[in-house]
Structure 1
Amino acid sequence: MYLPPQFNSKNAEDACLLMRAHPFASLISNDDEGMPFVTHLPLHLEERGASGEQELVLLGHCAKPNPHWRYLQARPQAVVTFLGPHAYLSPKVYPDLARVPTWNYVAVHCKVQATLIEDAPGKDALLKKLIGDHEPPYAQQWRDLGEDFATRLLAGIVAFELSVTQLECKIKINQHRPESHVAMRKIYAEGSPDEQALGEWMDRLGYPKQPA
């Protein structure tokens, strides 16, 4: 993605925070005609390996009728994108009038290498991690469905590991326009859930606090 230096976060913790808070991602790879093919899906993030040598891995699955898993099998390199909070920003935040509107947002792009998980125990383990992310109590209901029922359901999906080979995190919240920050603080504190979330990212980046 287009990534000006002032918006380029090289802190992997920022990227991991966004991917966990906004796990509904877009998986993008090429179909057999060479056109981009997109699947929207929740992904589970794992950090593997020792500190300093950690590997980021995304875990997910698609329905077996979805041809995307076949494209991953044929061409394992793909891109995954995550979009965090985003909101319009009015030029009224600036003290002068020679300004234009913009859109602030936080996003992560990952280049990945895909490996299919086609065995039932592997798929079951992956599903339990997704359940743990979104509804831990459902794990017991999943177990109570019985082995035969679960086996039939698992046969209807293809799971995959997506090893992150390149990570980009874009945090675009007017870092380069400090004269706008006080007004942005007020707008975001009183705004929509996305605007309030952008205000939390301003805290994370160390923007000056709004005057009392």
Structure 2
Amino acid sequence: MYMPPQFAAKDAAIARELMRAHPFASLISTDDEGLPFVTHLPLHLVEEGDELVLLGHVARPNPHAKYLFDRPRAVVTFMGPHAYMTPRVYPDLARVPTWNYLAVHCTVQATPVDSFEDKDRLLKHLIHDHDPAYADQWRGLEEDFQQKLMRGIVAFELRVMELQCKLKINQHRPESHGALHAAYASGSPDEQALAGWMRRLGLGV
């Protein structure tokens, strides 16, 4: 993605934090005609030493699985909090609106997860992330039914080969920070989250 240097996150831990806090990602591959094909899905982040791996699955009828394994190099994006920014936060009039946001883009290499045991382990990570109380119910399902469900999905590991983390909160315009923080702090949940990031990054507040 377009990355002016003032918006590039310097701390790799921020990317991991955003990926875990906003796990509903976009997986982007190319289809057989060379066009982007996008699936929106939750992903679980695993840290293996210095490497990152994303775990996920799609429904078996979804053609994305074929595209992903035919061309295993893909892109995954995560979108954090985002909000409109009015030019009224500046002390002068000759300014324009923009949009502030936090985002992570990963270039990944896909590997299929085929065995029942490995799929089960992957699903338990996702259950733990989003609905831990469901774990007992999952374990209590009949084995035949579990096997049927497993056959209905295609699971995969996405090893992160490259990563970009963009924090765009008008860092390069300090004259806007006070009014921008005040506007965001009293706004929507996304705006309040951006105000928190402004405080965290020490942007004039």
Q: Same fold by TM (over 0.5)?
A: yes
Pick from 160, 175, 182: which aligns with 2:171? 175
Answering whether residue 34 of structure 2 is matched by residue 38 of structure 1, we say no
CA distance in 1 between counterparts of 2:22 and 2:117 reads 27
Q: Are 1:59 and 2:55 an aligned pair?
A: yes
Alignment of 1:106-117 (within 5 A): 106-117=102-113
Structure 2 residue ranges without an equivalent (≥5): none
Residue pairs, 1:10-159, within 5 angstroms: 10-49=10-49, 54-159=50-155
Equivalents in 2 of 1:59, 1:206: separation in Å? 34
Q: Distance in 1 between matches of 2:200 and 2:157?
A: 30
- Structure 2 CA distance for aligned equivalents of residues 3 and 36 of structure 1: 21
Asked if the contact 1:69–1:116 (Cα under 8 Å) also holds between the matched residues in 2, the reply is no
Query: So what's the TM-score if we normalise by structure 1?
Result: 0.95
CA distance in 2, matches of 1:59, 1:12: 19
1:205, distance to aligned residue in structure 2 (A): 1.1
Query: Residues 135-181 of structure 1, C-alpha deviation per residue, up to 9 Å, x if partnerless?
Result: 11111010011211111101100100000000000100000011111
TM-superposed deviation, 1:78: 0.1
Q: CA deviation at 1:208?
A: 3.0
> In the alignment, which residue of structure 2 is the partner of 1:3?
3
Please give the secondary structure, in 1, of the residue aligned with 2:65.
helix
Distance 2:22 2:63 in 1: 25
Identical columns (%): 69
For residues 123 and 133 of structure 1, the distance between their equivalents in structure 2, rounded to whole angstroms, comes to 16
Determine the C-alpha separation between the residues in 1 that align with 2:43 and 2:157.
Answer: 10
Q: Aligned-pair RMSD on alpha carbons?
A: 0.8
Within the alignment, does 1:190 sit opposite 2:190 as a pair? Answer: no
Structure 1: runs of 5+ lacking an equivalent: none
Hey, what's the Cα distance between the residues in 2 that align with 1:18 and 1:197?
Answer: 12
Count, aligned residues: 205
